[in-house]
Structure 1
Amino acid sequence: MSQLPRACGVDFGTSNSTVGWLRPGVPALILLEDGRQTLPSAVFFNADENSVSFGRAAMAEYLEGYEGRLMRALKSLLGTSLIDGHTEVLGRPLGFRELLANFIAELKRRAEREAGRGFEMAVFGRPVHFIDDDPVADRRAQDTLEAIARQVGFREVSFQFEPIGAALHYESSLSREELVLIADIGGGTADFSIVRLSPERMRHDDRRADVLGNAGIHIGGTDFDRMLSLECVMPLFGYRTRMRNGAEVPSSIYFQLAAWHTINFAYTRQVWADLQHLYRDATAREALDRLCHLVSQREGHWLALQVEQAKVELSAERATRMTLDRIADGLVLDVTREAFAAATQGLVERVGACVAGLLQDVDVARARIDTIYFTGGASGVPQLRDRIAAELPDTRVVEGDLYGSIGTGLAVEAARRYG
């Protein structure tokens, strides 16, 4: 054991997280929950049991009906003004920095327990841009994550771009040199790198010359959830309906309910008072009845899970049926892939423009790029994958381990940097 690498790679993701540790002849990713390599980035504060749970267990407890607070998409807080705020949990204020520290400390504990040793050094993955077009906020996001990592016990912390981590994983499978567009689309960001890879280059410690360019945009799977929710689901709850005076029903509560990290904001007394005022002057009373039930019973996270599942199903099938009987008896919603594509067209085009800009900026002919390597859970969304591939229509497409490529590559990087 003493001869094995002393450092780990940590992929703290918006939706799922992994920890990698390089060992010969053994998969790099450490088992974190119920024999699985991923730990969903979720925390549930159980008021009935006065306890805290993480990952799948957190979501299971919430769905079983325990009273408490479910928090997901924690990474989305980095670089925003929310990170210095707090929320009320189990009757006391909990800072969002403390919330992130709780989750990352649990990630570290589980990895160390499974590995049978402590990890004091880590390479964390980071998106190309935590925050788009704001270098100060972007740097602040990385500094915040580093401070939290040190707070929970990592003595040495460094970072690598997440698509580079995925590239290092893909490189281990190659028998010849390739020029590769790494497309890493996770829960919160879409990141792209053009990298020269080969079995020979894999032995080099300094790979900076092999990275020909990178770009990223703050769009990921949770944004696709949000737009699917707003355009296809929230009309059932009165979104874009009218008041008696002809004005549109205010949209703020629908936007809160459509994003994981803002759902709890819809449960304040002020929002409930505003909702009662709106109800009196609304024309779509049945839809507003559903909204009132959703808010009063705090079913926002449950609905968000149904939307997320619908996204996954629409990535594989042409249509899906959402059963929403927790909102109203017999309530169902049929959603087609065409509707999903229409709802997310703006997101898809922005990601496509990001890829086009990267290909224009690098000094490489498009015909020379051998492979597009897709990783990250949201890279399975068909309309998004098709839009990216359209920029390189003659290029081979390879699908990596959608949830494990980055963590595995970061484990390789951790072994190189720290031994």
Structure 2
Amino acid sequence: MAAAGLDFGTSNTTLGVVSGGRADMVRLEGDEETLPSATFYHQDGSISVGRAAIAAYVGGEHGRLMRALKSVLGSALMEETTLVGRSRVKFRDVLKRYLAEVKKRGEAAAGAPLTHLVHGRPVHFVDGNAEADRLAETTLHAIARDLGFREVSFQYEPIAASLDYEQQLSREELALIADIGGGTSDFSIVRLGPERAKKAERASDVLANDGVRIGGTDFDRHLSLGRVMPLLGFRSKLARGEIDVPSVYYHDLATWSAINRLYESRVHRELVDLEKRAAAPRLIQRLMRVVDDERGHTLAIEVEAAKIAVAEQGAVAVPFDWLERGLSTHIDHAELVRHTGELAGRIGARVDACLAAAGVAASDIDAVFLTGGSTRLEHVRAAILAAVPEARVVTGNVFGSVGTGLAVEAARRYG
């Protein structure tokens, strides 16, 4: 029997296992410790997960890709089903099959059944809705028990990241932990240090937790709506009057967890009618081609890649020749900020709220520890650091700090 720390993320998942009191991260896919939170349902009913799932879809295999699985927790989507082949599958079962595969790979690495689990969770699954937040955690707890975990407990993801950071400290300090992931942005203010790490109970070291349901997938959505969806008719007009074409198709197409809604047969019929009524029917034809060929995730993957390229290089050209010869868009840092700057501002505002909840001044923070893939976005980092300008900046393992900390916590609780 063994314990584990699970960071089930919107974009990626990691798993740490504890054996003999030692916590180690599992290579979940080849040599990679991260497993993209993606599932591909093949036509024969089998599934692939992670990079293999994305590769099957990108390679043109017929089936159903699902990404950003965690984002359905606490939302109305959790009660819906999605069409897979000729059958409808509950989103709860999609999550369960994915996490079952993660557990299976963890047990293969540990050489023993995984029976005890520390499950990571954001500070808020859903903003301003305590009941939905409770339901999201309850759902994850039930799935974990169904998968054979006898003991299941939870830890806030930024607290887990702080435990990873604490391992490198030689003196005590007050730290702001910023975990900006694919689905949420979470903050904790924690007293850390070598002596504090030895304590069995750490509740008094945590001064405040706060968060907001904004993450990398939201930046993808806003960037897609701003730069890509207009190529498919978003905000274009109907032929009669000044009314825009319905926006619901574009919002679903720009949202990872909602893309598969467009593959229902009724949507095709609606788009055929919309093309007849549109002032720019050629744009609607592009939209129809994406929907009829089930290439919505192709668009989302390309927008996500463009966002990352802009963060790393400053600008990128995004070709869509697969949709129409010569079709493309250009995105630079200014465009990224124009379409997503409001999101970065809302993330930064949560730092002030966290400081107020902790009862400390910005100048009291010794260090800010940054983790999560979205901390690579320059304007997101700037929004966070502007709130604590005197703090030392430490960049953690972008995708691994939370998982490492959860494994450390699993060793403490169950080792």
SS in 2 for 1:196: strand
| Cα distance per residue 1:114-155 (max 9 Å; x no partner) | 221111000000000011111111011100000001001111
| CA contact 2:252–2:262 (8 Å) conserved in 1 | yes
Deviation at 1:238, TM superposition (A): 0.8
SS in 1 for 2:114: coil
How many residues end up aligned between the 2 structures? 414
In the alignment, is residue 101 of structure 1 matched against residue 67 of structure 2?
no
Whole-angstrom distance in 1 between the partners of 2:146 and 2:83: 22
Which of residues 338, 342, 347 is equivalent to 1:342?
Answer: 338
Matches within 5 A, 1:195-210: 195-210=190-205
Structure 2 equivalent of residue 414 of structure 1: 410
In the alignment, is residue 231 of structure 1 matched against residue 226 of structure 2?
yes
Deviation at 1:286, TM superposition (A): 2.6
Q: For residue 165 of structure 1, what is the amino acid of its counterpart?
A: A
Q: For residue 279 of structure 2, what is the amino acid of its counterpart?
A: T
CA RMSD of aligned residues (A): 1.4
Structure 1 equivalent of residue 180 of structure 2: 185
**Which stretches in structure 1 are left out of the alignment for 5+ residues?**
none
Matches within 5 A, 1:11-50: 11-22=7-18, 28-47=24-43, 49-50=44-45
Whole-angstrom distance in 2 between the partners of 1:189 and 1:61: 28
Whole-angstrom distance in 2 between the partners of 1:415 and 1:54: 27
Superposition TM-score, scaled by structure 1 size: 0.96
Structure 2 equivalent of residue 304 of structure 1: 300
| Cα distance per residue 1:197-256 (max 9 Å; x no partner) | 001111111111110111010000000000010011111111111112221111000000
Whole-angstrom distance in 2 between the partners of 1:153 and 1:25: 21
In the alignment, is residue 129 of structure 1 matched against residue 124 of structure 2?
yes
Structure 2 equivalent of residue 327 of structure 1: 323
Whole-angstrom distance in 1 between the partners of 2:162 and 2:191: 9
Matches within 5 A, 1:73-88: 73-88=68-83
Whole-angstrom distance in 1 between the partners of 2:401 and 2:279: 50
Whole-angstrom distance in 2 between the partners of 1:266 and 1:145: 27
Deviation at 1:330, TM superposition (A): 2.1
Whole-angstrom distance in 1 between the partners of 2:93 and 2:293: 27
Whole-angstrom distance in 1 between the partners of 2:291 and 2:85: 19
Matches within 5 A, 1:118-267: 118-244=113-239, 245-267=241-263
Matches within 5 A, 1:367-386: 367-386=363-382
SS in 1 for 2:191: strand
Which of residues 390, 395, 413 is equivalent to 1:394?
Answer: 390
Deviation at 1:27, TM superposition (A): 7.2
SS in 2 for 1:250: coil
Which of residues 6, 12, 15 is equivalent to 1:10?
Answer: 6
| Cα distance per residue 1:71-117 (max 9 Å; x no partner) | 11111111112212211213212111111110111000011112211
Deviation at 1:21, TM superposition (A): 2.0
Deviation at 1:28, TM superposition (A): 2.1
| CA contact 2:34–2:399 (8 Å) conserved in 1 | yes
| Cα distance per residue 1:341-360 (max 9 Å; x no partner) | 11012211211221111112
Q: For residue 352 of structure 2, what is the amino acid of its counterpart?
A: A
Structure 2 equivalent of residue 60 of structure 1: 55
SS in 2 for 1:316: helix
Superposition TM-score, scaled by structure 2 size: 0.97
Whole-angstrom distance in 2 between the partners of 1:322 and 1:26: 45
Whole-angstrom distance in 2 between the partners of 1:289 and 1:101: 37
| CA contact 2:252–2:258 (8 Å) conserved in 1 | yes
Runs of 4+ residues over 6 Å off in structure 1: 24-27
Deviation at 1:51, TM superposition (A): 2.4
Deviation at 1:311, TM superposition (A): 0.9
Whole-angstrom distance in 1 between the partners of 2:166 and 2:25: 17
Whole-angstrom distance in 2 between the partners of 1:119 and 1:50: 26
Once the two structures are overlaid, the 10-residue window that deviates more, 141-150 or 261-270, is 261-270
Instruction: State percent identity of aligned pairs.
Output: 48
SS in 1 for 2:312: coil
Whole-angstrom distance in 1 between the partners of 2:178 and 2:221: 21
Q: For residue 406 of structure 1, what is the amino acid of its counterpart?
A: V
Deviation at 1:52, TM superposition (A): 1.0
Deviation at 1:50, TM superposition (A): 4.2
